[in-house]
Structure 1
Amino acid sequence: MENYKYIDSTGVIIPDTGDIKTEVQNEFRAVFGDDLDVSDSTPQGLLIAAETNARANVVRNNAALANQINPNISGGIFLDAIWSLTGGERDKATRSQVMATLIGSPGTNIRARVRARTTAGDTFESVSSAKIDNTGKVNVLFQSLEFGPVPCGTGSLTEIVTSDAILGWDGITNDSPAVIGTLSQSDLSVRNLRRRTLALQAVSMPEAIISRLYTVDGVRSLSFRENISNQTQTIDGIEMKPHSIFVCVYGGTDDDVARTLLNTKSGGCAYNGNTNVSVVEPISGQTYEVTFERPEIINLLIKVYIRKGSLNTTGITTQAQTAIMMYANGEIEGESGFAVGEDISPFEIAGGVNEVYPELFVSKVEIAKESDGVFSTNEIPIALDEVAAITISAITVIIQ
């Protein structure tokens, strides 16, 4: 063990725990004699087990640390460092924010960071000081103490935290709902986005256009084709002008997508698509007409058959539905989910369920387009200008 090398030319090595235990047993016999009883029930057996566990933990720690140089496995600050090499940065967690109306006696000074609670018990605090005006009111921005999607509906911020009460401040409310905060971008999301944006620092090339588009806020997936000939061509079912590109983008605002395309594509390259946006180039002031495609949404129906076996049926339906939604949203490692131009496979959906809940025995998955309702175990083809969609209510779980 003292000569253990956890990296060689083939990659990271994790020795079998049984081999480590055998090595420790041999070390004990070398010290106390070959006739030493090393069975687990003996005192020395317990010491051997403890030493084996300690060495195995070192092995796993070394392997986990060594794997941080692999961007497809790394996480946390290691992944952030790798992604920064190509200009990427993790989306940070944000707090929910709401404009609150403070009610009280005119002239009352309200210090910053006073707290109030919603009817659901979530705590918000003010971000600045204020003074109640002659109307007996003042508007102050409040933010949640916790990061992430903390809800605050209209009229729900009503309780002043007792320890923060101020003489002359009588009440609080909000006339509009909060702008909901977000959690920090997950390692899974960062790894997926990094793979899609490796050409972020380039321009003109297909890889560069795709990379830039994936950095647009709200873009979930896209498809791309290029016609480099001087004639109109039909490529993968898409009719394209000479020397043009076709980009079908799901998500993001029209303006953001159009501006990104204008800034990234080659000069003189034509567009194709069903969405046209006028974009003013800020340096020259010229207005360009940018065209791209928005996908047709293909709503699906899914039936998943699960063999009960010895499982308790409580929660099976929810588990299966949750797993399918995770698969569809691309929240499973190595799966792109329901993306633009990606065919939908019942087999892949079943694999997604088992990835999330290995204990579920999926005997069959059937899928259908909502438009015809014809279920089948065959793949449903999705064109380059289409994207599949599913809602949890469209997933039927049949326990056999």
Structure 2
Amino acid sequence: MTTSVPQPSFGPNGFVIPSASQVLTGVTEDINSAFGGNLNPALNTPQGQLASSEAAVVDNVNQTFLFLTQQFDPAYASGRYQDALARIYFLERNPAQPTVVQALCTGLQGVVIPVGSLVVAADGNQYICTEAGTIPASGNITLTFECSVPGPISCPEGTLNQIYRSIPGWDSITNPADGVLGNNVESRSAFEARRAASVALNSIGSLPSVLGAVLAVPNVIDAFVTENSTNSPQTIGGVSVYPNSLYVSVVGGAAQDIGQAIWSKKAPGCAYNGNTSVTVLDTSPGYVPPYPAYTVSFEVPPPLPILFAVNIVNSTLVPANAGTLIQNAIISAFSGGDGGPRAKIGGTLLASRFYAPVAALGSWAQIVSIEIGSVNNASASFTGSISGTTLTVSAVSSGTLAVGQTISDVTGNLIVGTTITALGTGTGGTGTYTISASQTVGSESMQSAIANLFEIAVRINQVPTVSANNIVVTLI
């Protein structure tokens, strides 16, 4: 028995299969030979239909075996096969992780806010405090809260505003910036990145080993690790790092667990950087209480709100809720919900990353452009106050204000997505401007920015965040 259908082969490039057209040609030749030759090979003939059906069966089997062989490569494995490969490293896929919010707690000096304290956002979701803190003389302290419901639940600036379980002396809470979106069940790409990092987890002292240990801490969403091995301060990723020191930036997870993970992989005596410090005890065999204590510092990065300007072609096919659909698609992709990489600390954010999730909404989503922006590329930095829909600018330290710019602050007093809609007495500098949302804000430092870039470099002390209010969809 012979056949003209090309056979799959194993070689240096792995399992290689013939193309569907090659299979069809071979099957057609076999059928023609079986019937003595001179058959019409047209696909609309009985013999042509028989050939195309048989070729489809053969190609489907080939594709099945090709898929199977690819699943033994960690770079391509998915689902059950990826879980099996990871089990070799004693890893399991992370479940959904909660949204993390840095919240400003205000009250009397000396009041302790313990781990487990509950607060409520405007959408009704409860958030749990993950690190204890004592309100200092300033009357406020910033603590980390995690949503009680896992997944990429949005918590826009200023919406975490209600104390659920009262503590005497703790007066109020707010989030000055958007929360960092959580994850759904760990995606294929994220799981593979963590598996690769876990290989270094067995080592001591190297940056990959520190990163692997930190990423292994429960509920850690993202982390970045670097070091300055010189005897003078160095600027790395937009941040000044102490001489001979380790820099760890991390979002999510319990502070004590993160500190323990860092210390376990970097020998005592190392200098640290960051805005958060914990005390780690060395309980190694041979030591008895009081155990040697070490202070480990790391950075809990503030959010960097990302602005989006999406322009699509207007037509009768565009649904009435197109804006909401596009906003949801971008928010999902931002957290890696589409299977791609999530926006990360110290990474480069590309506008092109969001073309595919928007285009996947349907043929109506004909993209003209997607642009991004942030205060890393601020249009203006200024001092201003707001009464109603009037912004009064008293001083401008840099740049020029203009219609269409989104304004923001670091206090959380501004409504997210507030834009300049018209000029008043101001024409780029001091004076008055009309804004999109009525509010009252005292005089403070503000910045304005516009989404007019195709890529943004996120500093290593920033975690990119996104809010529907900062995603502007325009039909043109």
Decide which of 59, 66, 70 is 2:69's aligned counterpart. 66
Q: After superposition, what is the alpha-carbon deviation per residue over 1:37-57, rounded to whole angstroms, capped at 9, x for unaligned?
A: 233333322321221111011
Alpha-carbon distance, 1:16 to partner: 2.1
8 Å contact kept, 2:344–2:464: yes
The one-letter amino acid of 1:77's match is R
Alpha-carbon distance, 1:358 to partner: 7.7
CA distance 1:309–1:33, shift in 2 (3 Å): farther
The one-letter amino acid of 2:313's match is R
Whole-angstrom CA distance in 1 between matches of 2:364 and 2:22: 29
Decide which of 323, 326, 331 is 1:320's aligned counterpart. 326
Whole-angstrom CA distance in 2 between matches of 1:203 and 1:93: 29
For residue 290 of structure 1, give the secondary structure of its aligned residue in structure 2. strand
Q: TM-score, normalised by structure 2?
A: 0.60
Decide which of 32, 35, 39 is 1:36's aligned counterpart. 39
8 Å contact kept, 1:6–1:13: yes
For residue 247 of structure 1, give the secondary structure of its aligned residue in structure 2. strand
Alpha-carbon distance, 1:325 to partner: 1.2
CA distance 1:312–1:16, shift in 2 (3 Å): farther
Q: After superposition, what is the alpha-carbon deviation per residue over 1:317-348, rounded to whole angstroms, capped at 9, x for unaligned?
A: 34322321122112344x43221122333333
Whole-angstrom CA distance in 2 between matches of 1:278 and 1:232: 25
Decide which of 301, 306, 328 is 2:307's aligned counterpart. 301
Alpha-carbon distance, 1:6 to partner: 4.5
8 Å contact kept, 2:228–2:234: yes
The one-letter amino acid of 1:340's match is I
Write out aligned runs for 1:1-400 (5 A).
Answer: 4-91=7-94, 185-283=186-284, 284=287, 285-308=291-314, 311-333=317-339, 335-354=340-359, 360-369=365-374, 371=408, 372-378=447-453, 379-400=455-476
Alpha-carbon distance, 1:188 to partner: 4.2
CA distance 1:322–1:183, shift in 2 (3 Å): closer
The one-letter amino acid of 2:270's match is C
Aligned-pair identity in percent equals 25
Gaps of 5+ in 1: 95-147, 150-175, 177-181
Whole-angstrom CA distance in 2 between matches of 1:310 and 1:57: 39
Whole-angstrom CA distance in 2 between matches of 1:318 and 1:207: 40
Q: After superposition, what is the alpha-carbon deviation per residue over 1:194-235, rounded to whole angstroms, capped at 9, x for unaligned?
A: 234331222211011111111111212222221222344343
8 Å contact kept, 2:268–2:294: no
Whole-angstrom CA distance in 1 between matches of 2:42 and 2:471: 53
Structure with higher helix content = 1
The one-letter amino acid of 2:70's match is N
2:422 paired residue number = none
Whole-angstrom CA distance in 2 between matches of 1:14 and 1:299: 47
1:111 paired residue number = none
CA distance 1:81–1:225, shift in 2 (3 Å): same
8 Å contact kept, 1:324–1:353: yes
For residue 449 of structure 2, give the secondary structure of its aligned residue in structure 1. coil
How many residues align? The count is 315
For residue 288 of structure 1, give the secondary structure of its aligned residue in structure 2. strand
8 Å contact kept, 1:276–1:291: yes
For residue 199 of structure 2, give the secondary structure of its aligned residue in structure 1. coil
Whole-angstrom CA distance in 1 between matches of 2:66 and 2:297: 49
Farther off after superposition, 322-331 or 205-214: 322-331
- Superposition CA RMSD, Å: 2.9
2:387 paired residue number = none
Q: TM-score, normalised by structure 1?
A: 0.70
8 Å contact kept, 1:301–1:373: no
Structure with higher strand content = 2
The one-letter amino acid of 2:47's match is Q
